[in-house]
């Protein structure tokens, strides 16, 4: 999925490090910016941070396998020493619609307009023939901006919209109903809020469990899980999955997760390695 662009706010392709991206984001927030900041990440992936009137709406990574939500800090960490970046100006409404892209699904092109209107769906429609353009929809109606005909690939002026909607052939329709968007956003942010950073500590011999990780009681209580056993997802700070394993309460050190030495070796992890964890 390629997201449509707004009006370029800074030169495209600037190499920005993680710290540069964070500084840029801070400046955009202070300037009450609406639009998004994009960075090209390793593995043909892209990172997006959407803002509306200076408020961060959502940050996620887009790849061929789908969309994954991140905090901006974790997303920027993947940029390393430098990633080609750009930012695009949009209206607040446009930025908020595209920020929901992680929850949109393909919709049939047949009777697409009636489907969007009847379901009061939010999303966007891409046109390729006889001319290209993308129209954003909010609650079943196309988003119109009376003073502007287009933001990059986005057509939003009344005259341009009329021509595209009446003569264009939709190549792709991505949309979702309001209730679906709300539920997906709630679950996604609940999972995001559950992420915690800890250090690994290998344990062997008498004190090691054979097949389970150990976390401190305070960490588990914050998740509301069964302390006698639950599954924990372990990732690198860059978002790469290390592994999943049954987990119990038992670690006595704050911010430290105990891991059987054998499991650590199987995962290719190391002592004092920083990882992010959250319950499955």
Q: What are the tens digits of pLDDT across the range 11-65?
A: 889 999 999 999 999 999 999 999 999 999 988 899 999 999 999 999 999 988 7
**How confident is the model over 129-139, as a mean pLDDT?**
90
Q: What are the tens digits of pLDDT across the range 213-229?
A: 999 998 888 888 888 88
What are the sequence ranges of the domains in the chain? 7-92, 105-180, 194-279
Assign 192 a pLDDT band (cuts: 50, 70, 90). Answer: confident
Ranges 62-66, 211-215, 245-249: which has the least confidence: 62-66
Which pairs with CB-CB distance under 8 Å and at least 24 residues apart come from 192-197?
A: 192/69, 192/70, 192/71, 194/223, 194/278, 194/279, 195/71, 195/74, 195/276, 195/277, 195/278, 196/222, 196/276, 196/277, 196/278, 197/237, 197/255, 197/274, 197/275, 197/276, 197/277
194-279: CATH topology = Barwin-like endoglucanases (2.40.40)
Main-chain dihedrals φ then ψ at residue 161, nearest 5 degrees: -65, -45
Look at residues 260, 262, 258 and name the one whose alpha carbon lies nearest to residue 249. Answer: 258
Computed from CA positions of residues 277, 216, 231, 194, in that sequence, does the dihedral angle turn out positive or negative? negative
């Amino acid at each position: 999925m390629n997201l449509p662009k707004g009006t370029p706010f800074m030169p495209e392709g600037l190499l920005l490090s993680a710290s540069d991206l964070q500084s840029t984001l801070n400046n955009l927030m202070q300037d009450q910016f609406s639009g998004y900041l994009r960075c090209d990440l390793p593995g043909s992936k892209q990172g997006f941070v959407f803002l509306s009137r200076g408020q961060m709406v959502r940050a996620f990574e887009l790849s061929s396998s789908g969309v994954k939500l991140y905090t901006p800090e974790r997303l920027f960490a993947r940029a390393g020493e430098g990633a080609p970046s750009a930012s695009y100006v949009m209206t607040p409404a446009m930025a908020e619609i595209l920020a929901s892209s992680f929850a949109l699904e393909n919709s049939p092109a047949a009777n697409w307009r009636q489907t969007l209107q009847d379901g009061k769906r939010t999303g966007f429609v891409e046109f390729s023939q006889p001319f290209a353009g993308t129209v954003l929809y909010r609650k079943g109606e196309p988003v119109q901006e009376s003073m502007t005909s287009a933001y990059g690939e986005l057509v939003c002026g009344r005259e341009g919209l009329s021509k595209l909607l009446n003569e264009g052939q939709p190549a792709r329709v991505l949309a979702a109903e309001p209730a679906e968007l709300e539920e997906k956003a709630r679950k996604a942010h609940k999972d995001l809020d559950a992420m915690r950073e800890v250090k690994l500590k290998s344990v062997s011999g008498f004190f090691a469990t054979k097949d389970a990780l150990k976390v401190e009681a305070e960490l588990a209580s914050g998740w509301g899980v069964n302390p006698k056993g639950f599954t924990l997802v372990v990732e690198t700070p860059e978002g790469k999955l290390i592994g999943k394993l049954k987990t119990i309460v038992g670690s006595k050190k704050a911010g430290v997760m105990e891991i059987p030495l054998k499991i650590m070796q199987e995962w290719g992890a190391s002592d004092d390695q920083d990882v992010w964890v959250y319950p499955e």
